[in-house]
Chain A
Amino acid sequence: MFVEIRLHGRGGQGIVTAAEMVIEAVTLQDYYGQSIPIFGAERRGAPVTSSARVSDRPIRRHSQIYNPDIVAIFDPLFVYRQEVMAGLKEGGSIIVNHKQRPDIQKFKLFVVDATRIAMENGLVVAGWAVVNTAMLGAISKILGIVSKESLEKVVRKRWGGDLGERNIRATLQAFEEVS
């Protein structure tokens, strides 16, 4: 297995954290992972990408990802932007945070209303719904190798107490709801 994932979001939305949690989770399933962050200055609100590799063998390469197998879109406003589909492999998957089902024909489409899930669990900071844990759940479901127990462990390691529990709920809710 060798899967490359690219995450699209805004600076401050936690896409780097999400990518790291994805690979922490796959590591618990005895896979290897690599999370490649934004190369450069971070700017709150600006469209940014982050990416990750998942493999059943140690990952040696360090180049950036140009032809992902999976694209995850954290911000509903980015759905129809050209760059989010750029290089996506034929037959690749798109996981999008959206209220409705966007009209995307060329690729396998998976939708999750991560913003609603984040709000329902009180994950709001400075007016922003913090969707990274919900997206973690959705991406993990589509990867198909991560157990709910691993997700719980990974999220609890980052956030303790009530905040941790709410993040876990958001993660597992998205894991169930994504379709």
Chain B
Amino acid sequence: MKAKVAISKASEGASGMTGMWRIKRPVMDEGKCNKCLMCWLYCPEAAIVRGKDGRIWITYEYCKGCGICSEVCPTKVIKMVKEV
């Protein structure tokens, strides 16, 4: 059906490839992660994904590099690394 007014629907990447905004990237030492999910909860872009198998990973297409995950991580396993 054709739109009658402009509406938005929730969808992945609705704001574009916001990963381009980043000047520092969060890098997670997965082996040391205790899966507390603080980063997943705090990420303002929902760029941290919780897999069915319990794995946690970062989608760099959308991560803006704000560094909040690195700040809130209680085990300090997320480091902010400068992009090339």
Is chain B in direct contact with chain A in the complex (CB below 8 A)?
yes
* Given known contacts A10-B21, A128-B23, A45 and B65 CB-to-CB distance under 8 angstroms: yes
Q: Is A86 at the interface (CB under 8 A from chain B)?
A: no
Contact with B along A1-38 (1 / 0, CB 8 A): 00000000011000000000000000000000000000
Nearest A residue to B82 via CB reads A127
B20 contacts which of A44, A46, A127, A128 (Cβ < 8 Å)?
A: A46
Q: Is B84 at the interface (CB under 8 A from chain A)?
A: yes
Evaluate contact between B64 and A45: CB separation under 8 angstroms.
Answer: yes
Residues of B within 8 A of A47 (CB): 20-21
Contact size range, B: under 10
Complex alpha-carbon distance, A45 and B66, angstroms: 10
Q: Is B12 at the interface (CB under 8 A from chain A)?
A: no
Cβ distance A125 to chain B, nearest Cβ, rounded Å: 12
Evaluate contact between A77 and B21: CB separation under 8 angstroms.
Answer: no
Residues 28 to 86 of chain A near chain B (Cβ within 8 Å): 43-47, 77
Cβ distance B38 to chain A, nearest Cβ, rounded Å: 23
Contact surface of B with A, Cβ cutoff 8 Å: 18, 20-23, 64-65, 83-84
